[in-house]
Chain A
Amino acid sequence: MMRDLSLHLLDIIQNSLAAHATHISIQICADKARDLLLLEVTDNGKGMSESLCAQAADPFVTTRKTRTVGLGLPLLAAAAGRSAGNMSIESIAGRGTRVKASFRLSHLDRPPLGNIADSIVPVVASCPSLELDILFANQAAVRQLQLSEIREQLGGIPLNNIEVLNWLGSYLQQCQKEIFGGVLDEVYC
């Protein structure tokens, strides 16, 4: 079980990396007026055929060789379903995949956002050359960060430098707090 949405996010990103994505774009949007929380991950990985894409949310369908079950997407679909939302997957073989999950913001069973930075930092530490765009939005404001922007600022220093990772974690935490509020007042601030 995943305790919060940031863990689901990490899982979906891991799928993208396994599909050899070099560019991943993440959007998390909270809309209080429509009582909606949206999570969207788009990658330029190898994509899936139509038939595999249709089956991807089935826990007994997986492409990995170590096990015959694949629970990442089914768990996300279940989490969305529990909070009156749903999950959809669009994919074009050779072009990439987009996973969208929606949640009713005020639903009692909606998982908390969790610490998004804690999911992003390990990804950047692991794949410093990955192009990653992150967008946080609520109905009034938007914060976005593109790793290409940071790379430009840093000159030749790799993004998996410990000082850079530390900065990235604090920066993302600050962005998350500005847009979604803290742990106790999350989204409903």
Chain B
Amino acid sequence: MKSIAELEEIRKKTLEEISMRKNKNGMRVVVGMATCGIAAGARPVMTAFLEELKTRNLHDVQVTMTGCIGVCRLEPIVDVIDTDGNKVTYVKMTPEKARRVVAEHIVNGRICHDLTIGAAEKE
């Protein structure tokens, strides 16, 4: 059974973790979550990002959502923005691709070129 009381445990645990953590990754993942994105399956993609980041203990990566990015036919669209502000736009995302992006781009810094909007537009 989940209860509000459990939050106290999470609080203590998290405070310890925060004090241990020094180097900030600070990457941002932005998922397009307007009607077009939701209908195309953006919610499972966002959930996959959150789950994968939790599994890998990447507490510094921020996952947020935004409205319509403007290329509805390529939804679900995800922007990954690194600490220097460089933005990579991934299109036609799926939960599987999301997990790949976490492993290759966010963890190892290698952009998944075949999933980007550039690759999709060449087709």
Contact = CB atoms under 8 A, between A and B. Distances in A.
Interface residues of B, number: 37
B14 A163 contact: yes
Contacts, number: 104
Contacts of B6: 167
A163 B10 contact: yes
B27 interface: no
B35 A71 contact: yes
A171 interface: yes
Chain B facing A: main interface SS: helix
Interface of A: 1-2, 7, 10-11, 14, 18, 64, 66-67, 70-72, 75, 118-119, 121-123, 125-127, 149-150, 153-155, 157, 160-167, 170-171, 174
Contact of B2 (A7, A161, A167): A167
Interface in B28-65: 31, 33-36, 38-39, 43-44, 46-47, 50, 53-54, 59, 62-65
A163 B35 CA distance: 28
A166 B6 CA distance: 12
Contacts of A67: 68, 70, 72
A161 B70 contact: no
B99 to A, nearest CB: 16
